Structure 1
Amino acid sequence: MTSTHSRARRAGFAAFVGTTIEWYDFYVYATAAALVFGPLFFPSDDPLAETAAAFATFAVAFLVRPLGGIVFGHIGDKLGRRVSLVITLLLMGVATVLVGCLPTYADIGIAAPILLIALRALQGLAVGGEWGGAVLMSVEHAPEKSKTFYGGFTQLGNPAGALLASGVFAIMSRGGETFIIDGGWRIPFIASIVLIGVGLWVRYRVEESPVFASKVEGRKQSMPLAFALRANWLPILLGIGLLPISTGGYYLATTFATAYATGETVALSEQLILDAMTVASFVEFLVTLPIAWLGDRWGRKNIMYIGLVTSVLTFAPFLLVMPGRIEPAVFLLASLVRVAMSATYAPIAAILAQMFRPQARYTSIALAYGVGAAVWAGFSPWFATQLIAWTGSVWSVIAMFTGMAVLAGICTRLAPQHSDEAPVTASFTPRTDTRTNRLP
């Protein structure tokens, strides 16, 4: 048991480091899209149109993520999780550094946004294969009774990456009103090259997933995608339905909230909202693993239900308090909504991983998460911006958020949970782990 936990800790740490770097790269782009990419790459007489265009390029990565899940899921199911994860880390790093080197619209005209969209698509391709593999490396190394906790190490990379990204921009906002837009925005992108080197070193030191080695090796599918669509189509659909708040809601509370707060209607200072998001990311970082630990004690689904309800109850006042410009309230609610969302995000790694059979599991989880992120996260900031333009009220966004939470709750209720400790059979049909599949 001790050696099992030791391997699980190493795998969990490697997953944490890798996903931190991947999400840092992703959130650096998201923050830049909310603050400066509109006027730099999509200049217009209408500031709202600039922001909407920047968010549209943000959505491109999510549209490509299912393709990344298919490509790297195939590699991960055929050659191993570690091989796929090394490739995705390199791809993300190269794309991010190149974004930091791009000329703007003022320099090369229409070619600038085209190149930006192409590099954003490469980021999406990398993340589409990254998350599923990192989840499986941490969850499949973990003992059955601790899968939610060790899966939380993968999820810990999200707030850590967000903390690094928003922290760097918060520091740069102190360089003067025009420092970021005058070229400071390039610094976080180019600095990613250092993180990539660290991530590759850590990932090369972790052994392959024991579930892949013992249950799949020698019985691998020649076409993992075909097997996934044939045998796992219903869990894949439920997995997509699980994700509205864990993915889309998260970007509403971060990327959209940043743009809304700094827009003409609310007009909070960039420094204030970036400071609030940095503090919120730090708070989320602190609570993610304890919440994942509770998932193994109280039932991972029960934690998900708590997170869905409390996310709605904190997201609404977070948006409503902004026009009042009460700074302590903005800081408090930015953190509270991230704590609530941690309860929808921390257990999702174990929930999704245990929804699928060992065969084609990488492809299945990457496809579910990639399509779910494309549907929910890719368009949420853009659609929320449009809702405010159409209705003139932030209540429309709150209503959308609430509907997303209801759907996630229903799909959580229906999601199956399997055990990796079940005997291997020719059909690879796992038994249900009733302890981790508690239903209220």
Structure 2
Amino acid sequence: MSSTTATAIPAELTQAPAAAPPALSRKAVTRVVVSSWIGNTIEFYDFLVYGLAAALVFGKLFFPTVSPLAGTLAAFATFGVGFVARPLGGLIFGHLGDTIGRKRTLVITLCGMGMATFLVGALPTYAQIGIWAPILLVVLRFLQGLVVGGEWGGAMLVVIESAPPGRRGMLGSIPQTGGFSGQLLATGLFALVALLPEDQMLSWGWRVPFLISAVLVAVGLYIRSQIEETPIFQATQAQVAKRTESPVTEVFRDSWRKLVLIMVLRFAESVPFFLATVFAVSYATTQLGVSKQTMLGVVMATCVLAFPMHALFGAISDKVGRRPVYIFGALVAVLGAFPFFYMLETNNFALMFLGYVLLINIGHNAINAVEPAFFTELFGPRTRYSGAAIGAQLGAIVAGGFTPFIAKALSAADNNGWTWVASYVVITALISVVAGFLAPETSRRDLSAE
């Protein structure tokens, strides 16, 4: 981290650990990776199931008094509220993760997410309690965002801090696929409930994916309780006890440039992902006449392919560095935006899947696989949780949360076309390309040193 500030920092807080922390056994590392992947899967299942519900049913259930377009926009806006809350979650849980520990903080985030998601599934609709229904929906979505804002940084961090130096990219990419396994679970359950007659789907079927969250969280809590605190955090606990200021304060004062860098880097990752998995599902089913089952099938196939692609790109980043892989993925997003929509228009499963492979499995997955190692390696151990979580979640607001809303508005302004939407992807991804060239290479960094 930067040390150019004029504010004096106690010497004991600026020193690296006297000795490198002991390496974990291979079995212990495997346990950490698996537990982080499962926990991240559950967290993102909870978060992403909301996106599918917003695209498919929330407009009718919670905003029935407005036009279909306005109802969809309102539903997507509530989806974005979760992203507004994510940086606040990064602040709160980043502070906790850098003070009370990574493991304890991750248990808190998992419990909080499960509670908020279950309550969404139990929420009365507009027809039952009127205006209170969308208000409570927004509140619960805010709580979801708050919790997931602290989950991502911690789940990635425990793996990166536990992994051998030459395998941080590959091992860190595995729990990152939790977003896809969560999407796979959410999409699979929605595909099943979508088979119900529409009246049953709208009355009770949509609730099932939310209510099942309670079972998943119970499993996740058991698994997460089995891991140990990371060796690097344990090695710095004596320094943490002597801390005179919040790690959040320290990050904003000393590392604000790194936070801005992470925010901009996230454009090429978040915009294509939420465009393809949320907006495109709604656009294809309402404007292009593609069946819901077909779109859900395409998304599920894309999620399955994401697992080997993440491991591949993560391993490559251990060999050639984080920056080259990141820049490659961002360039693919630039080149793949227009072909993605051309293939979507064909209403042909194979071609639509090919479009998703190009934009998501190659472009997005290259970026997404590298982010855990890339972002956490930018910071020292005392502020690593705060820095990675806050930077990533600030980027999530700008780049991810309102992408479905912005895309829907651009499409409406373009006479329900997609040219402006694809152009938006190209512009945001180009910004990330520039940021990638400006970013430092971090793959050889000693994580135990400040």
Task: Assess same fold via TM > 0.5.
Answer: yes
**TM-score calculated relative to the size of structure 1:** 0.92
Alignment partner, residue 301 of structure 2: 279
**TM-score calculated relative to the size of structure 2:** 0.90
| Cα pair distance change 1:423/1:68, threshold 3 Å | closer
Kindly state the Cα deviation for residue 422 of structure 1 after the two structures are TM-superposed.
6.6
Q: Does 1:113 align with 2:134?
A: yes
Q: Contact 2:99 / 2:240 at 8 angstroms: preserved in 1?
A: no
Name which of 384, 389, 393 aligns with 1:370: 393
Matches within 5 A, 1:401-420: 401-418=425-442
Q: Contact 1:59 / 1:378 at 8 angstroms: preserved in 2?
A: yes
CA separation in 2, counterparts of 1:360 and 1:224?
5
Provide Cα deviations, 1:360-408, integer angstroms capped at 9, x if missing partner: 1111111101110011111111011101111223111111101111111
Provide Cα deviations, 1:318-356, integer angstroms capped at 9, x if missing partner: 222333322321233223322121111011110000111
Q: Quick one: which amino acid aligns to residue 100 of structure 2?
A: L
SS of the residue aligned with 1:181?
A: helix
Q: Quick one: which amino acid aligns to residue 368 of structure 1?
A: G
| Cα pair distance change 1:395/1:423, threshold 3 Å | closer
Instruction: Report the more deviating stretch, 31-40 or 388-397.
Output: 388-397
| Cα pair distance change 1:3/1:370, threshold 3 Å | closer
Kindly state the Cα deviation for residue 3 of structure 1 after the two structures are TM-superposed.
4.5
Name which of 61, 80, 100 aligns with 2:82: 61
Deviating above 6 A after TM superposition, structure 1's stretches of 4 or more consecutive aligned residues are none
Q: Contact 2:272 / 2:359 at 8 angstroms: preserved in 1?
A: no
CA separation in 2, counterparts of 1:422 and 1:406?
30
Alignment partner, residue 15 of structure 2: none
CA separation in 1, counterparts of 2:440 and 2:141?
34
Q: Does 1:268 align with 2:293?
A: no
| Cα pair distance change 1:422/1:224, threshold 3 Å | closer
Alignment partner, residue 320 of structure 1: 342
Instruction: Report the more deviating stretch, 311-320 or 75-84.
Output: 311-320
SS of the residue aligned with 1:277?
A: helix
Alignment partner, residue 245 of structure 1: 268
Identify unmatched segments of 5+ residues in structure 1: 429-440
SS of the residue aligned with 1:82?
A: helix
Q: Contact 1:216 / 1:358 at 8 angstroms: preserved in 2?
A: no
CA separation in 2, counterparts of 1:29 and 1:147?
31
Kindly state the Cα deviation for residue 245 of structure 1 after the two structures are TM-superposed.
2.0
Kindly state the Cα deviation for residue 175 of structure 1 after the two structures are TM-superposed.
2.6
Q: Quick one: which amino acid aligns to residue 352 of structure 1?
A: F
Matches within 5 A, 1:128-143: 128-143=149-164
Q: Does 1:164 align with 2:195?
A: no
Alignment partner, residue 255 of structure 1: 278
Q: Quick one: which amino acid aligns to residue 98 of structure 2?
A: D
Give the length in aligned residue pairs: 424
Matches within 5 A, 1:76-225: 76-215=97-236, 217-219=238-240, 221=243, 222-225=245-248
SS of the residue aligned with 1:347?
A: helix
Q: Does 1:398 align with 2:419?
A: no
Kindly state the Cα deviation for residue 286 of structure 1 after the two structures are TM-superposed.
3.3
Alignment partner, residue 432 of structure 1: none
Alignment partner, residue 32 of structure 1: 53
Identify unmatched segments of 5+ residues in structure 2: 1-21
Kindly state the Cα deviation for residue 272 of structure 1 after the two structures are TM-superposed.
1.1
Q: Quick one: which amino acid aligns to residue 269 of structure 1?
A: S
